[in-house]
Amino acid sequence: MAPQRQSPVPLAVDTSTACLRGWYALLVLRGWLYRFARTLFDQTIRLYYGRIEVTGRVRVPEAGPVILVANHPNSVADACLVGTQITGRRVNFIAKDTLTRAPVLGWLARSAGVVGVARPMEYGGDKELARERNRRAVETCVPRLLAGEVMAIFGEGISTDARHLHVIRRGAVRFGYAAEQAAGFRLGVAWVPVGITYSAKQRFRSDVLIRIGAPLRLRDLHPDPAAGEAEVVERGTERLQREIGDLVVNIEKEELADLIDRASDLLGNPDAPMEARVERQQRVARALQDVNDTQPRRLADLETALARYDRRLLDAGLTDEAVRQRHPTLALWQSLRGLLAHGTLLLLNRYGWINSLLPRWTSYLLGGLARLIEESGAGDGKSRSALVQQVAWSTYGGWLGAAIALPAQILLVFLWISAGRGRTTGAVVAAIYALTLIPSWRMYVQRRDLFQRHVARTREALRFLLNARGALRLQADRRRIARALRALLAEHEAAAGARGLEDRDTPGP
């Protein structure tokens, strides 16, 4: 009997099953890529920055569609912070499409959930192409919001060294409005404002504050959002501008930045929590910028007093950190104890120092190179951000050094142990070593921070004690300037409160 011909149906079933398995494998791969990227960014940001404070985490909804709208002062570092420090939920970024269209990096970015949008400035006169690509970006984001995911966007659209918030663009609200429109305005998208502030973004181990504002929904903007998209988008964008502006320090006139920083330091403890420092800096910035417009002579007197105080510090061989100490003998004793304790631990933790040699060197090298390149091109008429580029290149340099050094170090440990103990033992020891690499690096950096802090405090206490008479006179000068500053702040806030009461009592049209 001739063999029967097999039915094609099982073949079709097998083919569809294979396709499903292929898609499932792709999804698993993309999920793994996202988890790996998030872990890498979290470790990187905790290594690069010292104290990271986050306030208002509870304001981010635990479920449902969310759009995080943040300011953008520091390039790739901002993305690392927003993606890892705000919520435990998966965060999909909306970023410039030059990132997602890159040959290899673009695929990795898209696999990690990045959606590319077109910035008109990068498309020259081809506005139609930019609009088409932005339409596709909306089509990509809407299903994710309908599925209740978290999207993140930097509302300013650019990253610069300016100390003020730029204009928030309408795209942040448009993406959410499109999703609401697709769901019949019953989706409940929450726009969450996020403010990021760095104490010194270009400095390794700087402090960072992330402040999260109250979520904003369509019902907060218009009783009937379906009636007019343009009005809702405009209101939402203006609201986000105000909300994010209240979360960060806005210094509109760059020439006042140094004076504002100096006055803020004079009024408070530099070791205070980052939120307290930012709130103090906000108060000082508002007051001094208002005084600059209304009483410029008073601001000039303040600048003169600070300049005279700084000259006296220089003549006496002292610093403001030394003069601000109230009990230098006690501070010296505590610092010496800290030096002994943390210095001993730092010596024991040379393991982390050795593990991180190449990544640290490449980070410093590329960061310095980026700064030199940007500063050398500052006179060509283009807007540049030397500090932003320095941080970005430093981060990339650290990743590059780690990508080269860490696998090589693990391989060397494996080969070394395998030569005497066998491949199985070598694999176990290499795996344990791999797990300790980054934690040992972080521990070393943290110990070094504490040691350097105690060294600085010891030095300042000794300076005070060696020139106690001059330090006491300078303390009196410092107190006088601080009293004048507090009086200025009190007057400004009282006047602002009075204006607010007048505005509230004034009947509307």
Q: For the residues of 290-357, what is the DSSP string, one character each? A: HHHHH-HHHHHHHHHHHHHHHHHHHHHT--HHHHT-S-HHHHHHHHHHHHHHHHHHHHHTHHHHHHTH
pLDDT greater than 80 at residue 340: yes
What residues does 386 pair with on adjacent strands?
none
What's the chain's average pLDDT? 84
Q: What would the pLDDT profile of 47-76 be if each residue is shown by its tens digit?
A: 788 889 999 999 999 999 999 999 999 888
What residues does 193 pair with on adjacent strands?
69
Q: Which of 85-99, 107-121, 427-441 has the lowest mean pLDDT?
A: 107-121
pLDDT greater than 80 at residue 231: yes
Instruction: Tell which wins on pLDDT, 380 or 438.
Output: 438
Tell me which residue has tokens 């950190």.
Answer: 321
CA atoms of 461 and 325, how far apart (whole Å): 8
Tell me which residue has tokens 């999909």.
Answer: 92
**Overall average pLDDT of the 38-49 stretch:** 82
Structure confidence at residue 19 (pLDDT): 44
pLDDT greater than 80 at residue 506: no
Residue 15 confidence class, pLDDT cut points 50, 70, 90: very low
CA atoms of 194 and 69, how far apart (whole Å): 6
Q: How many helices (H) and strands (E) does the chain have?
A: 17, 7
Residue 167 confidence class, pLDDT cut points 50, 70, 90: very high
Residue 145 confidence class, pLDDT cut points 50, 70, 90: very high
Give CA separation, 469 vs 314, 316, 320, 341, 477, in Å.
15, 10, 15, 32, 13
Give the closest residue to 141 by CA, choosing from 81, 86, 100, 85. 100
Residue 442 confidence class, pLDDT cut points 50, 70, 90: confident
**Overall average pLDDT of the 217-227 stretch:** 87
Instruction: Tell which wins on pLDDT, 33 or 404.
Output: 404
Please tell me what DSSP assigns to residue 254.
G
At residue 94's C-alpha, the angle toward residues 214 and 225, to 5°, is: 50
Helices 468-505 and 296-316: crossing angle in degrees, nearest 10, is 160
Helices 257-267 and 274-294: crossing angle in degrees, nearest 10, is 130
Share of the chain above pLDDT 90, in %: 42
CA atoms of 395 and 392, how far apart (whole Å): 5
0.85 cut: is pTM over it?
Answer: no
Structure confidence at residue 43 (pLDDT): 79
